[in-house]
Amino acid sequence: MTIPENANANAAALAVELTPTQIKGLKLAKDGDLHPQDAKRWTHLNATVTYAKSDRFKERPIKVKFATTQTVNELRNHGLVRALDEGVEADQSAHSITMAGKIWLMKNV
């Protein structure tokens, strides 16, 4: 019986220790694809500031969650996220979570 090559990559990705910032970035990628924005930030496509409706006194803005370019690059190097467009540079392409990233979240968070 042969073991697929990507199985070794997935096993290596599961053995990685992540910082809290990287975990937040991975959770953000789990919620949807990350797209590059200005100022070296990555967030969901067309993300906007929303307002909490449960506030008693006034509606307070809920900030847009984002990850930095450094965090996305580290997650990509570990194999937890991947670029969606192969023909475009990795810094310009949208990124999505891989199956190894989903399994890492299930086991560690």
pLDDT-based confidence at 9, cuts 50/70/90? low
Cα–Cα dist 19/85, whole Å: 27
Cα–Cα dist 87/89, whole Å: 7
User: Over the stretch 46-81, which tens digit does the pLDDT of each residue have?
Assistant: 888 777 666 666 667 778 899 999 999 999 999 999
Q: Is 22 helix (H, G, I), strand (E, B) or coil?
A: helix
For 76: left if phi > 0, alpha if psi spans -120 to 50, otherwise beta; the answer is alpha
Cα–Cα dist 75/82, whole Å: 8
Is the pTM higher than 0.85? no
Residue matched to tokens 């100022």: 39
